[in-house]
Chains A and B, each alone.
Chain A
Amino acid sequence: MRLLTHNMLASNIKGVTNGFPLRIEPEKIIEKPVDFNPDFLKNMFSKIDWKALADASKIMGYAELPDEVPEQTVVESDEFLRKFHHALLEVHLEEGALVCPETGRRFPVNKGIPNMLLHEDEV
């Protein structure tokens, strides 16, 4: 699971009002290189929840992203975009869990696939 996917997933348990971001419990992290597409990244930047991405990236062992939302001039730079690219698309949570920030319910991640299925009483 890429951090881009993490950035768009929220806890889906009934009654939870603030289910984002899911806390990551990493057990196994892998990296898979993909082609660098600056136009995609610039467009994606405005849609990302920055704090969630920077925090998740740190937990996943990649601490190169700034904590604060970067200025537009920085966002245009190749140096920044390459780091953003790496954190967003190349770092994968292979094994571990996603934890609902409100209830502490764990959603396991096996072979890179988060299991977001709910129990009957959570729907």
Chain B
Amino acid sequence: MKLKQLESLLGNLQQFQNPKIELEQYPTGAHIASRMLYTAENSYDDISGKVVADFGCGCGTLSLAATLLDAEHVIGIDVDDESLEIASVNADELEVELELIQSEIKNLQWRGQIVDTVVMNPPFGTRKKGADMEFLSVALKVASQAVYSLHKTTTREHIKRAALRDYNASSAEVICELRYDLPKLYKFHKKKDVDIAVDLWRFVPKAKQES
């Protein structure tokens, strides 16, 4: 599938109807999502034929991008049932298979090393401090091959240090810098639209023993 086609399919997905600020629910735009998954597939071979988990999947944009790029088994996990319902409708709309689980990321118990790749657009931790790092720490435990994640560019050094030192990553690299276009979703947003710089990261977990 071509990048443009992927972006246009993702652009038609339904997004949050009543976004919840405590969960930092912001839609992952089609522009970013398509580039993220397209790079994971075409530069690193981490999607097609793989088992992919999407942490904090929301309405399923990244999950569905993975299914469109021929991931074999995709699991979206989110704490919010309204989002999961929309994700499910989006999957039906695209006529693809998407597995969904309602859970907190930190509380989910995984057996074995079945997940190859984790993709996520985690909460940036602006409302609940450390939420982004919690997601990253679990992702590096669950993935056997790679973790793709978006983080604010201003936190780059911190992310790199924590991933390598505390979270079992053998490598952590910024693949590209993107502009995250935040539409005015919440009342406390003063400006109409804000554009923030985010990094697309690829982390590789250290090889693990079979558990």
Binding site for B on A (CB under 8 A): 1-2, 4-5, 7-12, 19-20, 32, 34, 37, 39-40, 44, 47-49, 89, 111-118, 123
Contact = CB atoms under 8 A, between A and B. Distances in A.
Interface string B80-106: 010011001000000001011111100
B118 to A, nearest CB: 13
A29 to B, nearest CB: 15
Interface residues on B, range: 20 to 34
A27 B113 CA distance: 29
Nearest to B115: A8
Residue of A8, A12, A47 with most partner-chain B CB within 10 A: A8
Residue of A5, A7, A34 with most partner-chain B CB within 10 A: A5
Contact of A8 (B49, B79, B81, B114): B114
A5 B99 contact: yes
Given A9-B101, A39-B49, A116-B103, A2 B108 contact: no
A47 B113 CA distance: 7
Contacts of B110: 8-10
Interface in B65-82: 72-73, 75, 79, 81
Given A37-B49, A49-B112, A113-B102, A5 B107 contact: no
Nearest to B53: A8
B99 A1 contact: yes
Nearest to A11: B109
Given A8-B111, A114-B102, 8 more contacts: A4-B51, A9-B101, A12-B107, A49-B111, A112-B88, A113-B84, A114-B101, A118-B107
A10 B211 CA distance: 13
Given A47-B114, A112-B100, A9 B84 contact: no
A1 B99 CA distance: 6
A84 to B, nearest CB: 13
Nearest to B102: A115
A118 B81 CA distance: 14
A8 B97 CA distance: 18
Q: Would you list the 9 A-B pairs with minimal beta carbon distance, nearest first?
A: A116-B103, A12-B109, A10-B109, A115-B102, A113-B100, A8-B114, A40-B72, A5-B99, A10-B111
B116 to A, nearest CB: 10
Contacts of B79: 117
Contacts of A32: 97
B169 to A, nearest CB: 22
A12 B49 CA distance: 28
B101 A113 contact: yes
A120 B104 CA distance: 12
27 contacts: A1-B99, A5-B99, A9-B101, A9-B109, A9-B111, A10-B110, A10-B111, A19-B109, A20-B109, A32-B97, A37-B49, A40-B72, A47-B112, A48-B112, A49-B111, A49-B112, A112-B88, A112-B99, A113-B81, A113-B84, A113-B101, A113-B102, A115-B81, A115-B103, A116-B101, A117-B79, A117-B102
